[in-house]
Structure 1
Amino acid sequence: MFALGPFVWVFLASLKTRADLYATPLRYLPAQLTVANYVDAWTSRLTPFSRFFANSLWVSSVTMVVTTSVSILAGYALSRFRFAGRNALLLIFLATQMFPAVLLIAPLLSQWYALGLIDTYQALIYSNLSFTVPFTVWMLVGYFDAIPRDLEESALIDGCGRFGALCRIVLPLAAPGIAATAIFAFVTSWSELLFAITFTTQTEMRTLSAGLLFMVGQYEIQWGQLSAGVMISTVPVAVLFTYLQRHLIRGLSAGALKG
């Protein structure tokens, strides 16, 4: 109930008129329901929320697909093959999660400027991948370790190649873990703010989290549109969590354990 409190408050604020938002004494429930805040937020020229939404959806989707693909191949290789530096590489992947993103802002900004990637999707996607890939690889290694190798060996004996065994045997069994990594990558990229406000200067390149800042003016905060924007921004994440909640919990639990 405590966790739902702020969510309910923002939802009610998004349905209030301007008079209800600034009424004295405070009105907890809107006297008149309205969806004007949603329409204004989505169609505003000053704060092109629809453009922000599309940018976030594209950046998050590409980050999710690339993260999942790389994590599957790297996690499988680290789980099934023994080579020099394997344990050190796993420790490096884990150690990257100890450093906050703010420590990488200066070097990444210099690098993107040198490569001409400021105000591009690539800068945001590459920056997000630097945080999502190490963690998801480390998590999938633990998940792949829990899958019996005898199943793959049986497929190899029957004439199936290593890649075929991965696609036909391992991936179906690892579906919960893969779903967990995909959701993690999407949510991390969707809610990211620091990279978005640092590596983008043009309004049309802002993501959703950075675009919401445009609704906070110097002299006024557009509480109605801001609340509506927050509610809209939760829809994709809420849908994904609702649809893959079971797989997400199973994947995170299994990936953290080694059988």
Structure 2
Amino acid sequence: MRRRWWSRAAANAAGVLVALFAVFPVFWMVSTSLKPNREIFSATPQPVPHHPTLQHYRDVLGGDLLPGVGFGSFFRNSAIVAVATVLAGSLVALLAATAVARYRFRFRTAFLVMLLVVQMVPLEALVIPLFLMIRRLGLYDTLASLILVYLAFSLPFAVWMLRGFVAAVPRDLEEAAEMDGASRWQTFWRVLLPLVAPGLVATSIFSFITAWNELIFALTFLSDEGKYTLPVAMTFFFGRDDTAWGAVMAASTLLTLPVMVFFLVVQRRMVSGLVSGAVKG
């Protein structure tokens, strides 16, 4: 009994340490965004601001990061790219995962292996060939180029993960729905989709984070400053001689908030989808 108590206490302590290690950078980011410059550059580190201020947020939201272009324009561009990537990626990944899990076809195993191989390729190695491809397609300096690239990067992981969720759904449920008169589309929409909703949520979170935080391709494929996304706009705070760390931390906090909100929203949908699927089954 005592040994079990010590094991549980050690596991809880390890979990608390991991949580603190993960939360501390976020805490320091938010704390720094509320500090005046004299506290940010103080020789003595101050975890909590003594004189909190919202001036850095006013500078980020109220001023133009570029002539005539404010923070709202960059936020809109990032939102368009991220939402389009999530919607298109979820639809394509679910259809592909259903085909891989439910149907037997030639080179099926090779296709699954290729999904893993693609994930091993460094993104930096693909910048030049993708740039040439995007320019040849006439998509250079468009948000569509980013959506297409982010979709290609998120699909392998999404298909591989959703395949396991689709394969875990018994075929008997679909056959029973078809025997009750449901069409193949109705079976897919009312039986399969609610049961794989948790996996769809997990892949959508991955796709959203990928599209929301990516910098290299956004900086390479866009030349019109009005089409820049938020990660590219963050680079404007880093100067040759100095860095506006207060503005950097304030913009980073604002950049993180949509990801947290998106996670909270889809997390609720994940639970409701799981319960709904269980009831329909």
Letter matched to residue 127 of structure 1: V
Letter matched to residue 202 of structure 1: D
CA 1:28/1:157 → structure 2, altered by over 3 Å: closer, same or farther?
Answer: closer
Check whether the contact 1:177–1:247 (CA below 8 A) recurs between aligned residues: no
In the TM superposition, what are the counterparts of 1:1-259 in structure 2 within 5 Å? 1-47=20-66, 48-245=70-267
TM-score by length of 2: 0.83
Check whether the contact 2:89–2:151 (CA below 8 A) recurs between aligned residues: yes
Letter matched to residue 225 of structure 1: A
CA 1:4/1:91 → structure 2, altered by over 3 Å: closer, same or farther?
Answer: same
Could you list the runs of 4 or more consecutive aligned residues of structure 1 that deviate by over 6 angstroms after TM superposition? 246-249
Farther off after superposition, 225-234 or 112-121: 112-121
CA 1:69/1:22 → structure 2, altered by over 3 Å: closer, same or farther?
Answer: same
Farther off after superposition, 76-85 or 224-233: 76-85
CA distance in 1, matches of 2:207, 2:45: 40
Superposed displacement of residue 31, structure 1:
2.9
CA distance in 1, matches of 2:138, 2:31: 43
**Could you list the runs of 5+ residues in structure 2 that have no partner in the other structure?**
1-19, 274-281
Check whether the contact 1:192–1:209 (CA below 8 A) recurs between aligned residues: yes
Using the aligned pairs only, state the percent identity: 39
CA distance in 2, matches of 1:63, 1:4: 28
**Could you list the runs of 5+ residues in structure 1 that have no partner in the other structure?**
252-259
Q: Which protein shows a greater Rg?
A: 2
TM-score by length of 1: 0.90
Check whether the contact 1:208–1:233 (CA below 8 A) recurs between aligned residues: yes
Letter matched to residue 249 of structure 2: S
CA distance in 1, matches of 2:121, 2:270: 25
Deviation track 1:16-57 (CA, whole Å, cap 9, x = no partner) reads: 122322334444432321111111111221343222211111
Higher relative contact order (Cα pairs below 8 Å, separated by 6+ residues): 1
Superposed displacement of residue 218, structure 1:
1.0
CA 1:90/1:28 → structure 2, altered by over 3 Å: closer, same or farther?
Answer: closer
SS of 1:46's equivalent in the other structure is strand
Superposed displacement of residue 208, structure 1:
1.2
Superposed displacement of residue 145, structure 1:
0.4
Provide the residue aligned with 2:279 in structure 1.
Answer: none
CA distance in 2, matches of 1:10, 1:158: 56
Check whether the contact 2:197–2:270 (CA below 8 A) recurs between aligned residues: no
CA distance in 2, matches of 1:237, 1:160: 38
CA distance in 2, matches of 1:9, 1:49: 23
CA distance in 1, matches of 2:44, 2:91: 54
Superposed displacement of residue 108, structure 1:
0.7
CA distance in 2, matches of 1:102, 1:24: 37
